[in-house]
């Protein structure tokens, strides 16, 4: 699902935030707050909600991948808690307090550590297996339902708007240019 591409870009922002926190460099709190806002709106309230409402029940009904589904559900809840902490601490006042900066860094670290394997399992196990628990027509209907929900929540260009928001955060942190991540040869 293309939503995971947005999540990966947010994880990049979080990693840059962690780097700056560790180096005691300037970290504009709005960059982390805006990234966490994307997580809350696009990942948690849209993407994860679709999984919880439309995919997880089908796997449970088919008695397939139930242990994985339970773990993913638990991680969604944990992620929401970490986003709460991030939003609470992504402020100028919190950034000026060492203990709160450390707490923010811990929340960002935990979020990254959990969501990298989380999305990898969804991409390599859960999403490929959905075709085993729904008919081709049901699969097509799910895709249409997901797209309709995206447009309802975010407008006709919803995905593109969210990607543009993520890119804006990357630019503000100087991590937008993809070439900078290429090692010298």
Residue 79 counted as domain residue? yes
Please check whether residue 61 lies inside any domain of the structure: yes
Q: Into how many domains does the chain fold?
A: 1
In 24-65, alpha helices (H): 29-38, 49-50, 56-61
**Is 116 part of any domain?**
yes
Residue 134 CA neighbour count, 13 Å, CB half: 21
CATH of the domain at 8: 1.20.120
* 182 falls within a domain: no
Residue 184 lies in a domain: no
Percent helix / strand / coil, the chain, rounded to 5: 85, 0, 15
The Cα–Cα gap between 128 and 28 comes to 39
Task: Provide the residue-wise pLDDT of the chain in tens; the chain has 185 residues.
Answer: 689 999 999 999 999 999 999 999 999 999 999 999 999 999 999 999 999 999 999 999 999 999 999 999 999 999 999 999 999 999 999 999 999 999 999 999 999 999 999 999 999 999 999 999 999 999 999 989 988 888 888 888 888 999 999 999 999 999 999 999 999 98
> What pLDDT score was predicted for residue 22?
95
Please indicate, yes or no, if residue 36 is contained in any of the structural domains.
yes
- Map residue 62 onto helix, strand or coil: coil
Q: Is 108 left (phi over 0), alpha (psi -120 to 50) or beta?
A: alpha
Please state the pTM of the whole predicted model. 0.94
Residue tagged 């995919």 (tokens): 55
Q: Measuring CA to CA, which residue among 21, 8, 24 is closest to residue 86?
A: 21
Domain that holds residue 107: 3-177
Please check whether residue 185 lies inside any domain of the structure. Answer: no
């Amino acid at each position: 699902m293309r939503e995971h591409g947005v999540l990966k870009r947010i994880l990049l922002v979080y990693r840059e935030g962690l780097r700056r926190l560790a180096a005691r460099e300037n970290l504009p709190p709005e960059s982390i707050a805006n990234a966490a806002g994307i997580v809350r709106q696009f990942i948690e309230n849209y993407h994860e909600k679709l999984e919880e409402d439309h995919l997880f029940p089908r796997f449970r009904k088919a008695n397939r991948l139930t242990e994985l589904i339970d773990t993913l559900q638990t991680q969604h809840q944990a992620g929401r808690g970490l986003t709460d902490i991030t939003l609470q601490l992504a402020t100028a006042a919190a950034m000026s307090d060492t203990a709160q900066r450390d707490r923010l860094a811990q929340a960002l670290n935990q979020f990254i550590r959990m969501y990298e394997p989380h999305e990898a399992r969804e991409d390599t196990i859960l999403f490929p297996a959905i075709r085993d628990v729904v008919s081709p027509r049901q699969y097509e209907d799910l895709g249409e339902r997901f797209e309709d929900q995206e447009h309802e929540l975010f407008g006709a260009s919803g995905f593109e708007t969210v990607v543009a928001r993520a890119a804006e955060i990357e630019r503000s942190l100087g991590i937008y240019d993809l070439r900078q991540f290429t090692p010298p040869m």
